[in-house]
Amino acid sequence: MAKMIDVAKLAGVSVATVSRVLMGKGKVREQTRQKVLEAIKQLNYKPNRLARNLRRLESQTVVVVIPDISNPFFTEIVLGIQEIANQHGYHVLLGNTNNDVKREIQFIEMVKEKVADGVILVTVRNPKERFLKLAQEFPIVFACEYIKGAELPMVTIDNVRSAQCVVNYLVNLGHRKIGYIGGPQQVIVSRDRLQGFIQGVIQNDIPFEPAYITEGDFGIQSGIEMATKLLQLPSPPTAIFAANDEMAIGAIKAIKNHGLSVPKDIAIVGFDNITMSTVVEPALTTISQPRRQIGQKAMELLLQLIHNPMLKREHIVLPYELVIRQSCGNPSVWSDS
Amino acid sequence: MAKMIDVAKLAGVSVATVSRVLMGKGKVREQTRQKVLEAIKQLNYKPNRLARNLRRLESQTVVVVIPDISNPFFTEIVLGIQEIANQHGYHVLLGNTNNDVKREIQFIEMVKEKVADGVILVTVRNPKERFLKLAQEFPIVFACEYIKGAELPMVTIDNVRSAQCVVNYLVNLGHRKIGYIGGPQQVIVSRDRLQGFIQGVIQNDIPFEPAYITEGDFGIQSGIEMATKLLQLPSPPTAIFAANDEMAIGAIKAIKNHGLSVPKDIAIVGFDNITMSTVVEPALTTISQPRRQIGQKAMELLLQLIHNPMLKREHIVLPYELVIRQSCGNPSVWSDS
DNA sequence: TGAATATATGTAATCGATTACATTTAAGGA
DNA sequence: TCCTTAAATGTAATCGATTACATATATTCA
């Protein structure tokens, strides 16, 4: 493989000049520049990034840590990240933790190894203190999941408000008996959505019924199980709100299995607006997060942070949207006050 | 950030010794090794990969080029790749082409830049000659898609046979009027599956009806459109085989929109067995590719190729499976002879 | 035209590891 | 004990770029 010195020789100049042409800075006579470019083309030369990056002490790479690569919810975020990254000549390494808490840290350590210049975390399962320390040391941005009450760069929606909005919507449709299928409580968005749900219930003067609150693991199967549990209650709910679309889809399946109909007998609302929610029948009413935009914003923040570690850490809250389809009946425009 | 020389000083040895401890080769007295390990721990030292890789002229990274990261079909393959990669201390860079032909080549060039040691291509849209030349130069493995009649490392299923198998299955259920929704003809698997479909039709002595053959773009919407076209034929088919699950799902939607029922009026078969095919109603009968295994095998091949560029190029063909669900009625076990 | 200044190019140090080779220290054998 | 050989450790070159600094060449203006 051709090296810079080969190019220099062929063009009859020094490596410094070749480098200047490549970097596009420093003065080079147009005529010389052409000679160099010609030599580069002739040798089909590409600079060795390892060498460049070692010298410049950067890797032009970022790591995106997600819990599950095969989950379409996360890939859309990655897409947004990649868009901005590529615009700035950065590469994106995908870190798939498979929900393994230890691997979260391993991926962050890649910054220490100079494999990456920064990290975007789309999963936050380790204890808060750990992240606070790590975020001090490395450029880290949190996307979707985050750390409560910390001055760190984070990009999320308002999970509390959005869950509350769903309750308002259901109450508005006349529901008073609303079941809830939450996510695992160790992840913050689950806690937020549960909190939003409870606030919504209370603010609408609905008697609080603990049996209506169940906890799944974000998988379809757990949606089926929890919905079944709710259906077997002496006074089952007339509407079920699931903390993500997969569980909502599971709930729909369970309800149909019980010979009931959605939305006639029971209304369903999901969360995330994944593609599948348009395919299921009835199409799912759900909260939509601006996933691509979250990814973009997170990457922009990370780039700023990499180039200016002293940057003020800010929590960016992007708008959510209630996408109304058929799973609650009465398709209609609606706006939360 | 601590460097190797800091560790060496603290441990009272030379950098060579530290490196030997780290690399685990060369003789080091147990006592010295402990001193070094102690110093490493104390300084929280991690070797700089850029430096290591530059010296060793490798990057311990591979690029996986896929056409669309948000397509769950591909992520499962990536999962298999990552599994093997991580076992061998390799990192995986995801190259998302967004179906842009030019970017395919750009990602391969990353090997020239030493950003990666090899490439796994899960999309092959450029002309054959181009790849033949590139595959000579760099370690490249093809997964799912491939190059016809070339001695290159490839991991796929038999797309012709599997499509033929679907036709046999449908004929076995009594269908004689079978419609086909193919993928874009520039991708090889589309051509293979179409060929398999036609072979199946001919071998079953079914009169060949060109109007039954349509072409979509692998998206749900195109499935809707093509199925609609088939339904408007004077003598519409009683079964439709789509070259992927998304289009099959689109077809189901279209059929329902026409007030017809699946599978009572029309049977549907898809291809790929994505998660969504279990969610749609009726659940989709489809060909399942061992995606994870394809990824694993491809990565294994690539590792071999990286460490031994003279390796014989072989085409590995993995078994497919017809997954029978409800979209053709008569749920039953069935085996192609 | 010649000195002063600006522009263009070259030389060599540097990034942080690995490793061939040199050197020191320890072990084994007579 | 001394010599030979093996084991342990150190020194310095190396990977391929970037860039500070030095030097050569061109330009400007009195």
- H/E element holding A269? strand A267-272
| Multiple choice CATH, B58-157+291-319, 3.40.50.2300, 3.40.50.720, 3.20.20.150, 3.40.50.150 | 3.40.50.2300
Mark the ranges of chain B whose per-residue pLDDT is less than 50. Answer: none
| Amino acid letter, residue B101 | V
Q: Is the CB of A187 under 7 A from strand D?
A: no
Query: What pLDDT, on the 0 to 100 scale, is given for residue A332?
Result: 57
**Predicted local distance difference test score (pLDDT) of residue B333:** 56
- b/e per residue B245-276 (b: at least 16 CB within 10 A): bbbbbbbbbbbeeeeeebbeebbbbbbbbbbb
CB atoms closer than 10 angstroms to residue B148: 9
Average pLDDT of the segment spanning A164-193: 96
Q: pLDDT tens digits for B32-59? A: 999 999 999 999 999 999 999 999 999 9
List the B22 CA – D12 C1' distance (angstroms): 20
Find the CB nearest A54 among B54, B79, B280: B54
Residue type, A44: N
pLDDT tens, B152-197? 999 999 999 999 999 999 999 999 999 999 999 999 999 999 999 9
Q: What is the Cα Rg of chain B in Å? A: 26
State mean pLDDT over A24-47.
Answer: 94
* A245 Cβ contact partners less than 8 Å away, ≥ 6 residues apart: A270, A271, A272, A273, A274, A276, A277, A284, A286
The residues spanned by each domain of chain B are 4-47, 58-157+291-319, 159-289
Helix (H) or strand (E) holding B111: helix B101-112
> Taking an 8 Å Cβ-Cβ cutoff, which residues of chain A contact chain B?
1, 46-51, 53-54, 59, 61, 69-70, 72, 75-76, 78-79, 82, 91-94, 96, 109-110, 112-115, 220, 249, 275-276, 279-281
Give phi and psi for A212, each to the nearest 5: -80, -10
Q: Do domains A57-157+291-318 and A159-289 have the same CATH topology?
A: yes
- CATH class of the domain comprising A4-47: mainly alpha
Q: Do A109 and B46 touch (CB under 8 A)?
A: yes
Which of A218, A273, A285, A212 has its CA nearest to residue A250? A218
Q: Which residues touch strand C (CB under 7 A)?
A: A 12-17, 20, 26-29, 31-33, 51, 54-55, 57; B 1, 3-5, 15-16, 18-20, 22-23, 25, 47-48, 51-52, 54-56
Cβ-based neighbour number of residue A222 at 10 Å: 21
> Rounded to an integer, what distance in angstroms lies between the CA atom of residue B18 and that of residue B8?
6
Q: Which residue in the set B54, B76, B91 is minimally distant from A50, CB to CB?
A: B54
Q: What is the pLDDT of residue B332?
A: 57
A4 vs A18: CA distance, rounded Å = 7
CATH superfamily of A159-289: Response regulator (3.40.50.2300)
Please name which of B164, B145, B161 lies closest in space to residue B77, comparing C-alpha atoms. B145
Structure tokens at A107: 């991926």
pLDDT at B334: 59
Which residues of A spanning 224-253 put their CB closer than 7 angstroms to strand D? none
Average predicted confidence (pLDDT) for chain B: 94
Say what the pLDDT of residue B310 is.
85
Tell me which residue of A246, A259, A280 sits closest to B282, measured CA to CA.
A280
Task: Give residue B212's Cα distance to chain centre.
Answer: 29
Nearest residue, CB atoms, B109 vs list A46, A50, A82:
A46
Per CATH, is A57-157+291-318 categorized as 3.40.50.1110?
Answer: no
**3-state SS class at A159:** helix
